[in-house]
Structure 1
């Protein structure tokens, strides 16, 4: 991202200025989402996912590091049967979403979705413009891919299953 497009370079700078990857290094932070694979639109956030075994300690650490940032919020909830901690805030015109759960990052949906989406766009370069068109109409990324690829059901589960069937990822 350091040498990517303008938005990627701005994101790289914001992440580095915050020192998120250093400060949260123990949790194996990985930037996921649309900005790294260049299908972001205005308002796309920076999703940083992490493997977290002690959610209480993680929540306290996020509170200590980022509570002073604009629009900071911290939530605990259950997603697909797993408890997660999620923090959001604004920094340098980017919304950051820091996401931690007790699952290795390479097995988390955000990471798998990004790999699948990137590979599908490499296989079919015309797909990118179709996805961006739907996103500008209000679709979230995974539902946009699923609509174009005629994947029914839950788009978040469906995209993973499609990626497995296509040999892009293993779960």
Structure 2
């Protein structure tokens, strides 16, 4: 099957309206314009009741190809499900934390800001790393010369003003 645009895939599957009660937000590489052929579509949701979220996912998507659902063993026990549709793997993530506090959303916002400030050359540098097999956060961290855990390093930038991010980009040769 040909891979449709990610928004078309979401529309065909009805993911956003079917999960509207859980405030779904699309994050990750497709909306950033950094997707590669192996990228999936990530949807984060606010799911204070894990059982209700799991039930909604089961009722809406359990008949989709390659459907899987599991619950992580973490403090708030997020529910994750994935399935294949329209040439994509769609991954649904429901956590008891509000969207604005979830790591997936927080990484997405930082990456979005950096791409807006860094321009085409910065985007190309991140894409080059992605095309060489790097995951998104490690690619950003590598291009920006950030040390340590790339996920934590990106989170450390979320409180920065645009002028501070611009200075970081300039220090790495992106102006």
Task: Confirm or deny a common fold (TM above 0.5).
Answer: yes
Q: Are 1:116 and 2:118 matched, yes or no?
A: no
The corresponding residue for 2:169 is none
TM-score by length of 2: 0.85
Pairing of 1:118-157 with structure 2 (within 5 A): 118-125=112-119, 126-157=121-152
Select the structure of larger CA radius of gyration.
2
Equivalent of 2:97, from 95, 103, 109? 103
Q: Distance in 2 between the 1:23 and 1:121 partners? A: 30
Shift of 1:14: 1.6
Corresponding residue SS for 1:78: coil
Unaligned runs of 5+ in 2: 165-175
TM-score by length of 1: 0.87
Q: Distance in 2 between the 1:150 and 1:57 partners? A: 42
Unaligned runs of 5+ in 1: 1-6
The corresponding residue for 1:3 is none
Aligned length: 160
Pairing of 1:152-167 with structure 2 (within 5 A): 152-166=147-161
Instruction: Give the RMSD, CA atoms, in angstroms.
Output: 1.7
Shift of 1:118: 1.5
The corresponding residue for 1:31 is 26
